[in-house]
Structure 1
Protein backbone atom coordinates (compact mmCIF):
# COMPACT_ATOMS: atom_id res chain seq x y z
CA UNK A 1 0.00 0.00 0.00
CA UNK A 2 1.33 3.43 -0.96
CA UNK A 3 1.91 5.73 2.00
CA UNK A 4 -0.65 8.46 2.60
CA UNK A 5 0.43 11.90 1.43
CA UNK A 6 -0.88 15.46 1.74
CA UNK A 7 -3.94 15.82 -0.49
CA UNK A 8 -5.14 12.25 0.20
CA UNK A 9 -8.44 11.75 2.02
CA UNK A 10 -7.82 10.62 5.60
CA UNK A 11 -9.11 7.07 6.20
CA UNK A 12 -12.26 7.05 8.36
CA UNK A 13 -12.17 5.23 11.69
CA UNK A 14 -14.04 4.74 14.93
CA UNK A 15 -12.09 3.46 17.93
CA UNK A 16 -12.67 2.91 21.63
CA UNK A 17 -10.95 5.58 23.68
CA UNK A 18 -9.59 6.18 27.16
CA UNK A 19 -12.23 7.10 29.71
CA UNK A 20 -14.91 5.14 27.83
CA UNK A 21 -16.86 5.75 24.67
CA UNK A 22 -15.40 6.01 21.21
CA UNK A 23 -13.87 8.57 18.91
CA UNK A 24 -14.29 8.81 15.15
CA UNK A 25 -12.89 10.97 12.41
CA UNK A 26 -16.33 11.69 10.93
CA UNK A 27 -17.57 13.07 14.28
CA UNK A 28 -14.75 15.64 14.11
CA UNK A 29 -15.45 16.78 10.53
CA UNK A 30 -15.50 20.57 10.31
CA UNK A 31 -12.38 21.07 12.40
CA UNK A 32 -8.74 20.14 11.85
CA UNK A 33 -7.54 16.95 13.54
CA UNK A 34 -4.06 15.91 14.62
CA UNK A 35 -3.50 12.15 14.80
CA UNK A 36 -0.26 11.12 16.43
CA UNK A 37 0.52 7.43 16.11
CA UNK A 38 2.88 6.04 18.72
CA UNK A 39 4.17 2.52 19.45
CA UNK A 40 3.40 1.84 23.12
CA UNK A 41 1.89 3.37 26.25
CA UNK A 42 4.25 4.27 29.08
CA UNK A 43 7.51 3.74 27.22
CA UNK A 44 10.14 6.47 27.41
CA UNK A 45 9.78 8.26 24.06
CA UNK A 46 6.03 7.70 23.77
CA UNK A 47 5.54 9.18 27.24
CA UNK A 48 7.61 12.27 26.36
CA UNK A 49 5.57 12.71 23.16
CA UNK A 50 2.19 12.30 24.90
CA UNK A 51 3.21 14.69 27.69
CA UNK A 52 4.41 17.31 25.18
CA UNK A 53 1.13 17.14 23.23
CA UNK A 54 -0.78 17.26 26.55
CA UNK A 55 1.15 20.34 27.59
CA UNK A 56 -0.07 22.08 24.43
CA UNK A 57 -3.62 20.65 24.52
CA UNK A 58 -5.16 24.00 25.52
CA UNK A 59 -3.33 25.77 22.66
CA UNK A 60 -4.61 23.13 20.20
CA UNK A 61 -8.13 23.46 21.63
CA UNK A 62 -8.10 27.26 21.40
CA UNK A 63 -6.94 26.91 17.77
CA UNK A 64 -9.99 24.67 17.23
CA UNK A 65 -7.90 21.57 16.55
CA UNK A 66 -8.75 18.07 17.84
CA UNK A 67 -5.81 16.04 19.17
CA UNK A 68 -5.83 12.22 19.22
CA UNK A 69 -3.08 9.76 20.12
CA UNK A 70 -3.43 6.28 18.60
CA UNK A 71 -1.58 3.08 19.49
CA UNK A 72 -2.40 -0.65 19.46
CA UNK A 73 -2.65 -0.64 23.28
CA UNK A 74 -5.94 -1.47 25.02
CA UNK A 75 -8.34 1.06 26.52
CA UNK A 76 -7.34 -0.23 29.98
CA UNK A 77 -3.67 0.47 29.16
CA UNK A 78 -4.58 3.95 27.83
CA UNK A 79 -6.55 4.69 31.03
CA UNK A 80 -3.54 3.77 33.19
CA UNK A 81 -1.15 5.74 30.95
CA UNK A 82 -3.37 8.85 30.94
CA UNK A 83 -3.89 8.74 34.71
CA UNK A 84 -0.23 8.09 35.56
CA UNK A 85 0.99 11.05 33.47
CA UNK A 86 -2.09 13.31 33.81
CA UNK A 87 -2.52 13.36 30.03
CA UNK A 88 -4.95 15.85 28.47
CA UNK A 89 -5.22 14.21 25.03
CA UNK A 90 -7.68 11.62 23.77
CA UNK A 91 -6.07 8.18 23.39
CA UNK A 92 -7.65 5.77 20.91
CA UNK A 93 -7.14 2.00 21.18
CA UNK A 94 -6.39 0.30 17.85
CA UNK A 95 -6.02 -3.25 19.17
CA UNK A 96 -7.07 -4.78 15.83
CA UNK A 97 -4.47 -2.58 14.07
CA UNK A 98 -7.00 -1.56 11.40
CA UNK A 99 -6.23 2.16 11.69
CA UNK A 100 -2.43 1.82 11.88
CA UNK A 101 -2.67 -0.31 8.73
CA UNK A 102 -5.07 2.11 6.99
CA UNK A 103 -2.66 4.98 7.66
CA UNK A 104 0.38 2.91 6.65
CA UNK A 105 2.22 3.29 9.95
CA UNK A 106 2.33 -0.43 10.88
CA UNK A 107 5.77 -1.29 9.55
CA UNK A 108 8.77 -3.55 9.89
CA UNK A 109 11.19 -2.11 12.41
CA UNK A 110 14.59 -3.18 13.61
CA UNK A 111 16.06 -3.08 17.09
CA UNK A 112 19.52 -4.45 17.83
CA UNK A 113 19.41 -6.36 14.54
CA UNK A 114 16.07 -8.01 15.38
CA UNK A 115 13.23 -7.30 12.97
CA UNK A 116 9.65 -6.97 14.20
CA UNK A 117 6.38 -5.28 13.27
CA UNK A 118 5.41 -2.10 15.08
CA UNK A 119 4.05 1.40 14.82
CA UNK A 120 6.29 3.87 12.98
CA UNK A 121 5.97 7.10 15.01
CA UNK A 122 4.02 9.32 12.59
CA UNK A 123 1.77 12.37 12.91
CA UNK A 124 -0.97 13.44 10.48
CA UNK A 125 -2.58 16.87 10.29
CA UNK A 126 -6.03 16.52 8.69
CA UNK A 127 -7.99 19.55 7.53
CA UNK A 128 -11.64 20.32 8.36
CA UNK A 129 -12.79 18.55 5.18
CA UNK A 130 -10.98 15.31 6.10
CA UNK A 131 -8.03 15.76 3.72
CA UNK A 132 -4.47 15.10 4.91
CA UNK A 133 -2.63 18.42 5.04
CA UNK A 134 0.74 17.39 6.50
CA UNK A 135 2.55 14.16 7.42
CA UNK A 136 5.48 13.91 9.83
CA UNK A 137 7.24 10.54 9.44
CA UNK A 138 9.73 8.86 11.79
CA UNK A 139 9.08 11.64 14.28
CA UNK A 140 11.81 12.96 16.53
CA UNK A 141 9.87 13.93 19.64
CA UNK A 142 11.93 16.95 20.70
CA UNK A 143 9.99 20.06 19.61
CA UNK A 144 7.56 17.98 17.54
CA UNK A 145 4.32 19.00 19.32
CA UNK A 146 5.29 22.66 18.85
CA UNK A 147 5.92 22.11 15.11
CA UNK A 148 2.53 20.41 14.73
CA UNK A 149 0.79 23.23 16.63
CA UNK A 150 2.41 25.83 14.32
CA UNK A 151 1.25 23.92 11.22
CA UNK A 152 -2.25 23.45 12.68
CA UNK A 153 -2.57 27.17 13.45
CA UNK A 154 -1.40 28.01 9.91
CA UNK A 155 -4.06 25.64 8.57
CA UNK A 156 -6.74 27.43 10.61
CA UNK A 157 -5.70 30.85 9.35
CA UNK A 158 -4.77 29.69 5.82
Structure 2
Protein backbone atom coordinates (compact mmCIF):
# COMPACT_ATOMS: atom_id res chain seq x y z
CA UNK A 1 0.00 0.00 0.00
CA UNK A 2 1.06 3.60 -0.45
CA UNK A 3 1.64 6.25 2.19
CA UNK A 4 -1.62 8.10 2.93
CA UNK A 5 -1.75 11.58 1.45
CA UNK A 6 -2.26 14.71 3.52
CA UNK A 7 -5.96 15.55 3.52
CA UNK A 8 -7.08 11.91 3.31
CA UNK A 9 -8.66 9.80 6.02
CA UNK A 10 -5.99 7.97 8.02
CA UNK A 11 -6.17 4.18 7.84
CA UNK A 12 -8.01 3.01 10.95
CA UNK A 13 -6.60 0.31 13.19
CA UNK A 14 -6.86 -1.28 16.59
CA UNK A 15 -3.66 -2.48 18.26
CA UNK A 16 -2.84 -3.80 21.70
CA UNK A 17 -0.49 -1.56 23.60
CA UNK A 18 1.13 -0.82 26.93
CA UNK A 19 0.89 2.36 28.96
CA UNK A 20 3.16 3.13 31.89
CA UNK A 21 1.31 4.74 34.77
CA UNK A 22 2.57 7.45 37.09
CA UNK A 23 2.87 4.85 39.83
CA UNK A 24 5.09 2.61 37.68
CA UNK A 25 2.33 0.14 36.86
CA UNK A 26 1.82 -0.93 33.26
CA UNK A 27 -1.65 -1.32 31.78
CA UNK A 28 -2.38 -3.20 28.59
CA UNK A 29 -5.22 -1.90 26.44
CA UNK A 30 -6.55 -1.90 22.90
CA UNK A 31 -5.97 1.42 21.16
CA UNK A 32 -8.22 2.26 18.20
CA UNK A 33 -7.54 5.29 16.05
CA UNK A 34 -11.23 5.79 15.22
CA UNK A 35 -12.16 5.70 18.91
CA UNK A 36 -9.81 8.62 19.49
CA UNK A 37 -11.64 11.03 17.18
CA UNK A 38 -12.12 14.47 18.64
CA UNK A 39 -8.44 15.01 19.48
CA UNK A 40 -5.27 14.89 17.39
CA UNK A 41 -2.97 11.87 17.57
CA UNK A 42 0.72 11.75 16.73
CA UNK A 43 1.64 8.32 15.35
CA UNK A 44 5.38 7.75 15.77
CA UNK A 45 6.45 4.63 13.89
CA UNK A 46 9.93 3.60 15.05
CA UNK A 47 12.07 0.59 14.07
CA UNK A 48 12.97 -0.93 17.43
CA UNK A 49 12.60 -0.81 21.20
CA UNK A 50 15.72 0.37 23.02
CA UNK A 51 17.82 0.93 19.88
CA UNK A 52 19.99 4.04 19.83
CA UNK A 53 18.05 6.45 17.58
CA UNK A 54 14.64 5.12 18.63
CA UNK A 55 15.52 5.65 22.28
CA UNK A 56 16.60 9.24 21.58
CA UNK A 57 13.42 9.88 19.60
CA UNK A 58 10.93 8.44 22.07
CA UNK A 59 12.72 9.85 25.12
CA UNK A 60 12.64 13.31 23.52
CA UNK A 61 8.87 13.01 23.01
CA UNK A 62 8.39 11.68 26.54
CA UNK A 63 10.40 14.50 28.12
CA UNK A 64 8.24 17.08 26.34
CA UNK A 65 4.92 15.24 26.55
CA UNK A 66 3.27 18.27 28.17
CA UNK A 67 3.84 20.26 24.97
CA UNK A 68 1.80 17.69 23.04
CA UNK A 69 -0.86 17.57 25.76
CA UNK A 70 -1.11 21.38 25.84
CA UNK A 71 -2.15 21.15 22.18
CA UNK A 72 -4.74 18.46 22.99
CA UNK A 73 -2.70 15.71 21.33
CA UNK A 74 -1.57 12.28 22.37
CA UNK A 75 1.49 10.41 21.12
CA UNK A 76 1.42 6.73 20.22
CA UNK A 77 4.63 4.84 19.48
CA UNK A 78 4.22 1.90 17.08
CA UNK A 79 6.52 -0.87 15.89
CA UNK A 80 6.67 -4.65 15.40
CA UNK A 81 7.79 -5.38 18.96
CA UNK A 82 5.57 -7.42 21.23
CA UNK A 83 3.95 -6.19 24.44
CA UNK A 84 6.72 -7.62 26.61
CA UNK A 85 9.38 -5.72 24.69
CA UNK A 86 7.31 -2.52 24.82
CA UNK A 87 6.74 -2.89 28.55
CA UNK A 88 10.44 -3.37 29.23
CA UNK A 89 11.32 -0.36 27.04
CA UNK A 90 8.66 1.86 28.67
CA UNK A 91 9.83 0.95 32.18
CA UNK A 92 13.54 1.33 31.40
CA UNK A 93 13.11 4.74 29.72
CA UNK A 94 10.08 6.03 31.69
CA UNK A 95 7.97 6.42 28.54
CA UNK A 96 4.50 7.55 29.61
CA UNK A 97 2.63 7.30 26.35
CA UNK A 98 1.22 4.20 24.66
CA UNK A 99 3.57 1.84 22.82
CA UNK A 100 1.54 -0.26 20.38
CA UNK A 101 2.44 -3.72 19.10
CA UNK A 102 1.97 -4.15 15.34
CA UNK A 103 3.29 -7.70 15.45
CA UNK A 104 1.48 -8.81 12.28
CA UNK A 105 2.70 -5.65 10.45
CA UNK A 106 -0.77 -4.79 9.12
CA UNK A 107 -0.74 -1.17 10.32
CA UNK A 108 2.74 -0.52 8.94
CA UNK A 109 1.55 -1.97 5.62
CA UNK A 110 -1.62 0.16 5.70
CA UNK A 111 0.54 3.27 6.15
CA UNK A 112 2.86 2.21 3.31
CA UNK A 113 6.03 2.39 5.40
CA UNK A 114 7.22 -1.23 5.43
CA UNK A 115 10.71 -1.90 4.15
CA UNK A 116 10.86 -5.53 2.97
CA UNK A 117 13.57 -7.38 4.82
CA UNK A 118 14.47 -4.34 6.92
CA UNK A 119 11.39 -3.52 8.95
CA UNK A 120 9.82 -0.08 8.72
CA UNK A 121 10.66 3.48 7.73
CA UNK A 122 10.86 5.81 10.73
CA UNK A 123 7.73 7.92 10.23
CA UNK A 124 5.53 10.41 12.02
CA UNK A 125 1.92 11.14 11.11
CA UNK A 126 -0.19 13.88 12.68
CA UNK A 127 -3.81 12.77 12.56
CA UNK A 128 -6.34 15.54 13.08
CA UNK A 129 -9.30 15.35 15.44
CA UNK A 130 -11.39 14.46 12.36
CA UNK A 131 -9.26 11.38 11.57
CA UNK A 132 -7.57 13.01 8.57
CA UNK A 133 -3.82 12.97 7.93
CA UNK A 134 -2.73 16.57 8.50
CA UNK A 135 1.06 16.22 8.36
CA UNK A 136 3.57 13.44 7.79
CA UNK A 137 7.25 12.72 7.57
CA UNK A 138 8.52 9.41 6.22
CA UNK A 139 12.29 9.03 6.51
CA UNK A 140 14.32 7.53 3.69
CA UNK A 141 16.89 6.43 6.26
CA UNK A 142 16.01 6.03 9.91
CA UNK A 143 19.09 7.74 11.32
CA UNK A 144 17.31 10.97 12.25
CA UNK A 145 13.85 11.80 13.53
CA UNK A 146 11.37 14.65 13.61
CA UNK A 147 11.80 16.65 16.80
CA UNK A 148 9.14 17.89 19.18
CA UNK A 149 9.44 21.48 17.94
CA UNK A 150 8.60 20.44 14.37
CA UNK A 151 5.65 18.26 15.37
CA UNK A 152 4.16 20.71 17.89
CA UNK A 153 4.41 23.50 15.30
CA UNK A 154 2.22 21.40 13.01
CA UNK A 155 -0.20 20.64 15.86
CA UNK A 156 -0.42 24.33 16.74
CA UNK A 157 -1.25 25.14 13.12
CA UNK A 158 -4.10 22.62 13.31
CA UNK A 159 -5.43 24.24 16.45
CA UNK A 160 -5.60 27.62 14.70
CA UNK A 161 -7.83 26.28 11.92
Same fold (TM over 0.5): yes
Q: Does 1:6 align with 2:9?
A: no
Q: 1:53–1:89: 8 Å Cα contact kept in structure 2? A: no
Q: 2:2–2:111: 8 Å Cα contact kept in structure 1? A: no
Equivalent position of 1:154 in the other structure: 157
Provide the rounded CA distance (Å) in 1 between the counterparts of 2:40 and 2:3. 20
How far 1:2 sits from its partner (Å)?
2.6
Q: CA RMSD in A?
A: 1.2
Residue ranges of structure 2 left out of the alignment (5+ in a row): 19-26
Equivalent position of 1:145 in the other structure: 148
Moved more, 16-25 or 76-85: 16-25
SS in 2 for 1:20: strand
Report how many residues are paired: 150
Equivalent position of 2:96 in the other structure: 88
Provide the rounded CA distance (Å) in 2 between the counterparts of 1:2 and 1:16. 24
SS in 1 for 2:135: strand
Equivalent position of 2:78 in the other structure: 70
| TM-score, length of structure 2 as denominator length | 0.88
Residue ranges of structure 1 left out of the alignment (5+ in a row): 109-115
> What are the superposed Cα offsets for residues 75-122 of structure 1, whole Å, 9 maximum, x if unpaired?
1100000000011221111001110010111124xxxxxxx2311001
| TM-score, length of structure 1 as denominator length | 0.90
Q: Structure 1 residue runs of 4+, over 3 Å off?
A: none
Q: 1:123–1:136: 8 Å Cα contact kept in structure 2? A: yes
Q: 2:7–2:133: 8 Å Cα contact kept in structure 1? A: yes
Equivalent position of 2:119 in the other structure: 118
Q: Does 1:59 align with 2:63?
A: no
How far 1:43 sits from its partner (Å)?
0.2
